[in-house]
Structure 1
Amino acid sequence: MSRPKRVLIILATVLAVLAMSLGGGALWLYTGADMSTEGTRFDRELAIPPLAKPTVEKDGTRVFDLTMQSGRKELKPGGATPTWGFNGDHLGPTLRAKRGDKVRVRIRNTLGEASTVHWHGMRLPARMDGGPHQMVASGASWSPHWTVNQPAASLWYHPHPHGRTERHVQRGLAGMFLLDDDGSARLPLPKRYGVDDLPVIVQDVTFDGAKFDFDRGFLRNTGFLGERTMVNGTLDPYRTVGDELVRLRLLNASTARIYDFGFSDDRPFTLIGSDGGLLAKGVRLDRVQLSPGERAEIVVRMEPGGRTVLRSFPHNSYGSGWEQRFGGGDDTFDVLELRAAATLRPSPELPAELSEPEVPDGSDSVRERRFTLVTPGINGKEMRLDRIDEVVVRGTAETWIVRNDHGVPHNFHVHDVQFRVLAVDGREPPPELRGAKDTVFVPPNTTVRIAMRFTGPADPHSPYMYHCHLLFHEDQGMMGQFVVVEKGQRAGPVRAPASHAGH
């Protein structure tokens, strides 16, 4: 055999071995990329975040105190995990107020770095919003105040420092903020907090020994995807309930993972509320999907002595099979076990009518705006704190068209407003998207139309945010800013609120 021929044979053999190795490695990565905690042994009682007890000032203002602090908590057997929390070592208390209440929150930062507290889903002045312009330095304080003027809803609060939000939330800075109103108080719904009305704050985590492991891993374009879930800071949680109907206020407080919630026995449940409050009517479902930041209120029926597991099922809303596999779409998580007592208190039937969402239907929109999501920016621009991207007129309604032109999942959150989803890819939205929303999932190559009204107050110098709430994407720059102005008023320049100077 001639030398050139031998060289060609050797080269072909090396290339074949290399191809087989690469193919085998890719196959190994693919087959091992999915996660499952199905069959979890639930052995820890679910913690219920305490209700914060406000003081009341002479003018009726309800004053809450929140301290951002570091701590250590035994989240898993065998050691204490370094954590952050509000008024404790991990997570924070549940704040509660009623429509019409004047609210003040006195925030103190005892962490070793600056952070913020954003009131996710709340209508309030931009100077009080807690976005990246309202940083609270280490050792400093901040006291935002506003009047609650929106329907009963399950909102939440969390940090919003530009470029560092993902890590601050992962460490444990989050809590729920529940709103009530007269209409919801009259409805025969489960409403005893911690009894038949349970907060369910779901986060995914990975541990390295006793410490949190924040490594996003290989090929994780969506962000951090943990190996297991916690509810209210409890691993492998169960809750014993004593009522026929139980209300779960589901909050996806994970930073990137998208959950498709249902029950292990496929029992149906009734969806009664979404991000911004109650639906017009309850919707019978067996699955509800929540991307990071989204909420859903569901009511499930229990039988005496029965058990069921709240589970996140695989779902195919990730676009390509590659993203589906490596973005978490094939994963299964057992989240929370509900255990019914041997004898249950009877619950009244759910009402046929709930509450009409207070969101526009798009018929009076004065203009349309388009937002294209492609990492690392929106409309081809990465976030800049000194740039105002959009200017809206107070009191007007608009339709925003949000397009994911990327092969990676995104979602879209708008500060200060609740919106109505008008269409998904030109079709009527499914029932779970017909309530008031402030965050909506936008799968790859999908267009979502949303309508909202800007009720102010006008402030040409203090912006609100809109962004992807997959927090790795937000931190990379997938965020923009808008200001609300009076008709004929000009915007900018951006400045920090006077009460926050030097923080």
Structure 2
Amino acid sequence: MKRFRPLTRRGFLIGASAAATIGAPALGQGHAMRRIAPNRASDAFTPDVELELICKRDETSILTGKATRVWRYVGNLIKGPPNAVTALPDAYLGPLLRFTKGQKVRIRLRNELPEETVTHWHGLHVPMLMDGHPTAAIDPGETYVYEFEIRNRAGMYFYHPHTHEKTATQVYRGLAGALMIEDEEERALGLPSGEFEIPLVIQDRSFDRDNQLAYGDDMHTSMFGFYGDRVLVNGRCNLTLDVASRAYRLRILNGSNARIYKLCWDDRTPLTVIGVDGGLLEKAETRPYVMLAPAERVDLIVDFSGRPQGAKLTMLSGEFYGLIPPMAQRMMGSDLAMGEEFPLFTARVTKTSTDSWKLPEKLSTIRRFRKDEIANLDDPIPIAITMARMAMFLNGRPYGHDDIQPRERIPVDTTQLIEIFHERGGMGMMGGGMMRGRMGGMGMGMGMMGMMSMAHPIHLHGQPFEIIERSFEGDEDAYASVRDGLIDSGLKDTVLVAPGERLRIVKPFGDFKGRFMYHCHNLEHEDAGMMREFSVE
């Protein structure tokens, strides 16, 4: 690892050309993106909540000793409830934003960084002009005004840059924050709140000897993603939560660039899951563990009742295999190999409580789409994942501004069936010749493509989707180490697609016309071109 230095596309191509055994890069070349003028406040929009978010350079104490230089969001509430903007203590993460369904929100984003940036409201259903499209990036010194109505149901969402070819490095420096939405359905449940509701953002980072962020600037990072050697939770190492012997609500976001976690308690207490990306499940589910890919969220109820004062419970990332290729595992410089067991945070019971709370049997009602509402039931839109000859594509093409293909044109106010899969072909990911064992990929085919087989978290902007079918062909032993942690019953905006998997999802494209991204949320992959756009027309 080196001191943090943003990876340029030129640096990636130089590294790739040195890998003669892998082949020449097939990435599309970097290009200038046509930009739109910064949006201004509208006199016709009357906000219920108004705030300012400043993107700036700062320093913060993360490790013992010298402070670490970071980039961060700083929030100032202009109008609205006091809890709309809450700074997280001792953390570089952006403030926790809390809105209510139906509120009108105005956010003034000011760029005080040395480069362009833009902010995406991950999971929110907003117009293209407010979505943080890369064309809306603003230069240093500029301000972009976002104005939108909160249309989403209650849930945990988040915000982060979506800057063209700079998303990974900007998020890694510290630009990210959690966003909560409330609604009447959720409030009626009386779920743990206030000090008993704890948001947790999990990220991995590496540091040099001066406590400064270190970032891989090599071909390995570009191809497989960044994997740090320390886990930070809410921006802190070795986080310990002091809790009472009662029920808590833990709302967890994987804010890492590329690392996938397998959440489980050290004493193997089952997890009680009440929600995922798009809000509450219809009823709670008990799981031995939960897989959490970058950008995915999970909502847990944890009851510490009956645990004596001084008891500790540690959340681990448990053991699994098959989600990254053996080549990446061998080359990984991190001391925390993905798929090995390591601690994330600890809950320590410091006081007893007589508070009692019962989990409601019914949590929410999710409107499911009927078959007759799906516009293309017999002809699903493909999202084919390809990693070959150093290329990272979706549907056989790298990201290209205004490169909209016929199947990417979607009529507005329609509901579409979409199929996500790893591309087959001569170097397919789901063929025979499976390599088994700890280092093997789940669906490896023959040749170099098999060696590149890995999981991808696929994120679709706009409204959340339903997962209606998940099939698998490949290494059953590897798949068994993750299968029970995949939650398909709730609404999602990001889904982990393991090697050998094929998913069918149903997604509405309502209300807003424009171009909306779909991409891999392994941020190094996104920056390298594994991103496309739907044109909703």
| TM-score bracket relative to the smaller structure | 0.7 to 0.9
Aligned to 1:65, the other structure's residue is in SS state strand
Q: Which residue of 2 aligns with 1:352?
A: 361
Deviation at 1:233, TM superposition (A): 0.6
Deviation at 1:62, TM superposition (A): 0.8
1:298 to 291, 297, 300: 300
Deviation at 1:74, TM superposition (A): 1.3
Q: Which residue of 2 aligns with 1:453?
A: 508
Deviation at 1:307, TM superposition (A): 1.2
Residues 13-162 of structure 1: pairs in structure 2 closer than 5 A:
59=46, 61-87=48-74, 90-162=92-164
Kept in 1, the 8 Å contact 2:291–2:485? The answer is: no
Structure 1: segments with no counterpart, 5+ residues: 1-56, 486-503
Q: Which residue of 2 aligns with 1:14?
A: none
Deviation at 1:319, TM superposition (A): 6.3
Quick one: structure 1 residues 360 and 333, their matched pair in 2 at CA, closer, same or farther if it must change by over 3 Å? farther
Q: TM-score, normalised by structure 2?
A: 0.75
Q: Which residue of 2 aligns with 1:214?
A: 215
Q: Distance in 1 between matches of 2:484 and 2:228?
A: 30
When the two chains are superposed, the root-mean-square deviation of aligned CA atoms in Å is: 2.2
Asked if 1:257 corresponds to 2:259, the answer is: yes
Asked if 1:339 corresponds to 2:394, the answer is: no
Asked if 1:380 corresponds to 2:396, the answer is: yes
Q: TM-score, normalised by structure 1?
A: 0.80
Q: Distance in 2 between matches of 1:217 and 1:264?
A: 35
Kept in 2, the 8 Å contact 1:359–1:418? The answer is: no
Aligned to 2:62, the other structure's residue is in SS state strand
Deviation at 1:304, TM superposition (A): 3.4
Q: Which residue of 1 aligns with 2:489?
A: 434
**For 1:362-403, what per-residue CA distance to the aligned partner results, in whole angstroms no more than 9, with x for missing partners?**
552112201111131111100012222411112111111011
Q: Distance in 2 between matches of 1:481 and 1:223?
A: 22
**For 1:391-442, what per-residue CA distance to the aligned partner results, in whole angstroms no more than 9, with x for missing partners?**
1112111111011235122121000120011111179997722100000001
Deviation at 1:203, TM superposition (A): 0.3
Residues 241-280 of structure 1: pairs in structure 2 closer than 5 A:
241-280=243-282
Kept in 1, the 8 Å contact 2:59–2:67? The answer is: yes
Q: Which residue of 2 aligns with 1:289?
A: 291
Q: Distance in 1 between matches of 2:322 and 2:265?
A: 19
Aligned to 1:170, the other structure's residue is in SS state helix
**For 1:197-236, what per-residue CA distance to the aligned partner results, in whole angstroms no more than 9, with x for missing partners?**
1010000011112111111668554210011100111111
1:402 to 398, 410, 420: 420
Aligned to 1:397, the other structure's residue is in SS state strand
Aligned to 2:129, the other structure's residue is in SS state helix
One-letter amino acid matched to 2:106: R
Kept in 2, the 8 Å contact 1:362–1:397? The answer is: no
2:314 to 296, 309, 317: 309
Quick one: structure 1 residues 361 and 117, their matched pair in 2 at CA, closer, same or farther if it must change by over 3 Å? farther
2:459 to 413, 419, 441: 413
Q: Distance in 2 between matches of 1:430 and 1:214?
A: 30
Q: Which residue of 2 aligns with 1:20?
A: none
Rg larger for: 1
Kept in 2, the 8 Å contact 1:283–1:432? The answer is: no
Q: Distance in 2 between matches of 1:130 and 1:469?
A: 15
Quick one: structure 1 residues 128 and 243, their matched pair in 2 at CA, closer, same or farther if it must change by over 3 Å? farther
